Structure 1
Amino acid sequence: MADEQELAEVQQRHWQDTYTAHPGMYGEAPSRPAVHAAAVFRAAGARDVLELGAGHGRDALFLAREGFTVQATDFSPAGLEQLRDAARSQGVDDRVTTAVHDVRDPLPLPDGSVDAVFAHMLLCMALSTKEIHALVGEVRRVLRPGGVFVYTVRHTGDAHYGAGTAHGDDIFEHGGFAVHFFPRALVDTLAAGWTLDEVHSFEEGELPRRLWRVTQTLPR
């Protein structure tokens, strides 16, 4: 437990320092998963969206521009400050709220309070399998019946899997960033009690990173 806590604290400092040193590091264009999520959420009739691990906000801002009301969380105050500044400059600050939050803790939202949840590469951060299961349980709690969860994770077919510093539990640290690489069995167990709509393989960025985009829906 002490090792997990130490790794979590190191990663939080690392992301805070990274966002501070590189404002807007991912640019303004939304990720491809966010564009997909917007279409899925709209088809499901969603209006209120929670984004986990929003960073400096390129996807949260895109969702707001698409007309959704967005609650954006991240454990980096620096990233969220950049998000709020951008929301004001883009004229969508009336549709975006932010909260500093570590996903190892319960989500600061009431039961059944959002229509959809989006998380791009948040579940594959330095979280243990137990913490990931607890987080998905929290996502289920805050979603309304029929709510949709779209998330992406790097998987065990990624070139960095097994490289760098091993922390156990399929977590490997490379270049200062620790990643929990998902086996397919973990995706399936996280979807227990949901409808697993899609597991889509895609690549992103340099290397390239190999990911799954997962879409699952709560029963009504």
Structure 2
Amino acid sequence: MANLWEEKFSQEGYLYGEEPNEFIREQAWRLEGRKRIVAFAEGEGRNAVFLARQGHDVTAWDYTQSLDKTKQLAERHQVRVETGQKDLIHDSVPSEEYDASIMVFGHFLKEDQKTVFDKLVSVVKPGGIVMLEVYSEDQLSYGTGGPKSVDMVYHPADILQWIQGYKVLHFFYGEQGRVEGKGHTGTGHVIQVILQK
């Protein structure tokens, strides 16, 4: 799997464009006053750089060399993003160090999805915010981006189970238009969550 992503991200340009995910752009106001943010499975850095441009101290984690593109994009926008190569399934993450965490289209095998979700929550301080947008299983019939296997997308019932006990600020399951480079273009089917720890 790592080699697949290395290959995709090694191509010229930015596979998912240089602009942030629309969900992150629309919901960024929730992050005001939250200085330290970590972006999981951040790929080429479009969301991390956007949040750095809003004045946040941003760390981007990914397990590919795409983090080099993150640094280049940050330099172009005259901001700094700290990067770290991390296997989000197997590597440990710091506990309660960040004010918020985000993950956009971080797709993992079903058996690993809750592990990554738990880490998204554990890195955030009490009162912190967790934001994610992922493709649902319904996305497979749309063909507008994302994994081609049902094992790599998310079921809303699973996510609803994981977020029980947290203050849920936003939950959405349905169609959204996305124009994100060559990787995601057109109407897709997503799950969005914003919770407060």
If the length of structure 1 is used for normalisation, what is the TM-score? 0.77
Cα shift at 1:27:
1.9
Retained in 2: the 8 A contact 1:46–1:116? yes
Of residues 165, 178, 190 in structure 2, which corresponds to 1:193?
165
CA root-mean-square deviation: 2.2
Q: Which amino acid aligns with 1:196?
A: V
Cα shift at 1:178:
7.4
Matched position secondary structure for 1:59: helix
Bigger radius of gyration? 1
CA distance in 1, matches of 2:159, 2:26: 19
Query: What aligned pairs does 1:141-180 form with structure 2 within 5 A after superposition?
Result: 141-160=122-141, 174=148, 180=152
Q: Which amino acid aligns with 2:44?
A: H
Cα shift at 1:52:
0.5
Query: Identity across aligned pairs (percent)?
Result: 20
Aligned length: 188
Residue 30 of structure 2 is aligned to residue 48 of structure 1? no
1:44-71 CA-partner distances (Å, limit 9, x unpaired): x311000001111111100000001000
CA distance in 2, matches of 1:117, 1:37: 13
Map of 1:116 onto structure 2? 100
Query: What aligned pairs does 1:1-220 form with structure 2 within 5 A after superposition?
Result: 11-42=1-32, 45-77=33-65, 79-93=66-80, 96-109=81-94, 111-122=95-106, 125-129=107-111, 131-160=112-141, 174=148, 180-200=152-172, 201-203=174-176, 204=178, 205-206=184-185, 208-218=187-197
Cα shift at 1:108:
3.4
CA distance in 2, matches of 1:178, 1:73: 24
Retained in 1: the 8 A contact 2:41–2:103? yes
Cα shift at 1:138:
1.8
CA distance 1:48–1:37, change in 2 (3 Å): farther
CA distance in 1, matches of 2:150, 2:59: 25
Map of 1:166 onto structure 2? none
Retained in 2: the 8 A contact 1:159–1:209? no
Map of 1:169 onto structure 2? none
CA distance in 2, matches of 1:34, 1:179: 25
Q: Which amino acid aligns with 1:80?
A: L
- Larger RCO of the pair (alpha carbons < 8 Å, separation 6+): 2
Retained in 2: the 8 A contact 1:72–1:98? yes
| Structure 2 unpaired stretches of 5+ | 179-183
Hey, which bits of structure 1, 4+ residues long, moved more than 3 A?
Answer: none
